[in-house]
């Protein structure tokens, strides 16, 4: 029996493993992918991060390169591979976790490589699990190419003509901007788009967020509550500029479409966790800062787990540290 099994070897799982490696606990990280960093490698080819290198590292290893430069997805994938090697993190790849059940003294995991039991579990399976596309997409004519933003790699996947991009968060905005050279791009969103420059007076916007403690501000703090009320920000003004130059069009009301890219987000899927008390009536996890209400079960890497930074490379360490510390020194029961 392990002391801790971490499910997921992305940045959140590796950050938790880093702190576990400093303890005497017997632990293992499992992942269904066949290589570390694959969740980054599988994203669209041109992906550049919005967090500069200085804010894109995990504890115990800095990302190489110009600190204010924006890393590519391959750079991050390779960095995570090096990170695992440098800290000799035990990872068992190609191990798909099918179910997690509670036992009297811990947990039982059913995986594609057999059963594993552990006293504690850290779930680090990522914030972007099941791509969401509205159900009416299958009523759309077959000649129209339809892709979710998570399956989009590059323009070669599209037919000549125009592109309707539905929903515009950060990935939608980057994809729209890169397609605008070759296609008429129409963007359809339910709310108003809120753009933030990536750099302001020569410094990354994340420098200012950090300066004002916005990314570590707790959920219940005044700053945290204020931040949570803000509309989703699109980092970078590229798309905004192209809209004003009339190269990207907002809300094409009625038009003939050749390609649709659904940038409509993701749904979390924890249906494989067979421990009902961990979920509330809305199927959300019952937890405080990643510590669930089932003794020994923890979560890291989810957006707003404890703060705005919880799902970001440069800040996930805070929750990872908190969770591992809780495993090592659980507070005494009252």
Ligand X SMILES: Cc1cc2nc3c(=O)[nH]c(=O)nc-3n(C[C@H](O)[C@H](O)[C@H](O)COP(=O)(O)OP(=O)(O)OC[C@H]3O[C@@H](n4cnc5c(N)ncnc54)[C@H](O)[C@@H]3O)c2cc1C
How far, in Å, CA of 300 to CA of 104, rounded?
24
Q: Is the dihedral of CA 101, 107, 111, 114 positive or negative?
A: negative
To the nearest whole angstrom, how small is the minimum distance from the Cβ of residue 281 to ligand X? 24
To the nearest whole angstrom, how small is the minimum distance from the Cβ of residue 253 to ligand X? 28
To the nearest whole angstrom, how small is the minimum distance from the Cβ of residue 51 to ligand X? 4
State which residue has the least CB distance to ligand X: 10
How far, in Å, CA of 93 to CA of 332, rounded?
35
Q: Which tokens is 263 given? A: 């940038």
Residue 153 or 159 with smaller CB distance to ligand X: 153
Residue 166 or 334 with smaller CB distance to ligand X: 166
To the nearest whole angstrom, how small is the minimum distance from the Cβ of residue 126 to ligand X? 3
Residue 110 or 184 with smaller CB distance to ligand X: 110
The SS3 of residue 162 is strand
How far, in Å, CA of 239 to CA of 181, rounded?
12
What are 145's strand-pairing partners?
Answer: 259
How far, in Å, CA of 145 to CA of 9, rounded?
33
The SS3 of residue 209 is helix
Residue 39 or 307 with smaller CB distance to ligand X: 39
Q: Which tokens is 117 given? A: 């039991």
- Interface residues with ligand X (CB under 6 A) are 7-13, 30-33, 39, 43, 47, 49-51, 56, 96-97, 124-128, 170-171, 272, 301, 311-313
To the nearest whole angstrom, how small is the minimum distance from the Cβ of residue 150 to ligand X? 7
Residue 124 or 166 with smaller CB distance to ligand X: 124
């Amino acid at each position: 029996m392990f002391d801790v099994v971490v499910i997921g070897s992305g940045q959140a799982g590796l950050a938790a493993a880093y702190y576990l490696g400093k303890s005497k606990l017997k632990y293992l990280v499992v992942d269904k992918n066949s290589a570390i960093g694959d969740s980054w490698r599988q994203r669209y080819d041109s992906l550049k991060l919005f967090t500069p290198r200085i804010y894109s590292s995990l504890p115990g290893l800095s990302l190489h390169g110009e600190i204010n430069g924006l890393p590519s997805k391959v750079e991050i994938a390779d960095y995570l591979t090096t990170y695992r090697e440098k800290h000799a993190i035990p990872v068992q790849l190609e191990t798909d976790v099918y179910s997690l059940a509670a036992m009297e003294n811990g947990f039982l995991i059913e995986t594609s490589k057999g059963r594993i039991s552990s006293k504690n579990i850290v779930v680090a399976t990522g914030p972007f699990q099941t791509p969401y596309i509205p159900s009416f997409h299958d009523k759309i004519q077959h000649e129209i190419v339809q892709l979710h933003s998570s399956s989009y790699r590059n323009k070669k996947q599209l037919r000549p003509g125009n592109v309707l991009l539905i929903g515009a968060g950060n990935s939608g905005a980057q994809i729209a901007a890169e397609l605008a050279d070759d296609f008429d791009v129409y963007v359809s969103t339910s709310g108003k788009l809120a753009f933030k420059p990536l750099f302001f007076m020569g410094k990354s916007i994340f420098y200012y967020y950090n300066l004002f403690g916005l990314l570590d501000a707790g959920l219940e703090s005044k700053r945290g509550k204020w931040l949570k009320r803000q509309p989703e920000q699109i980092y970078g003004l590229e798309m905004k500029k192209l809209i004003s130059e009339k190269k990207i069009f907002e809300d094409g009301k009625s038009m003939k479409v050749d390609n649709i890219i659904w940038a409509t987000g993701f749904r979390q899927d924890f249906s494989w966790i067979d421990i009902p008390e961990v979920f509330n009536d809305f199927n959300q996890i019952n937890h405080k800062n990643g510590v669930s209400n089932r003794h020994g079960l923890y979560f890291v890497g989810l957006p707003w787990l404890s703060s705005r930074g919880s799902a970001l490379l440069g800040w996930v360490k805070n929750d990872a540290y908190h969770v591992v510390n809780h495993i090592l020194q659980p507070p005494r029961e009252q």
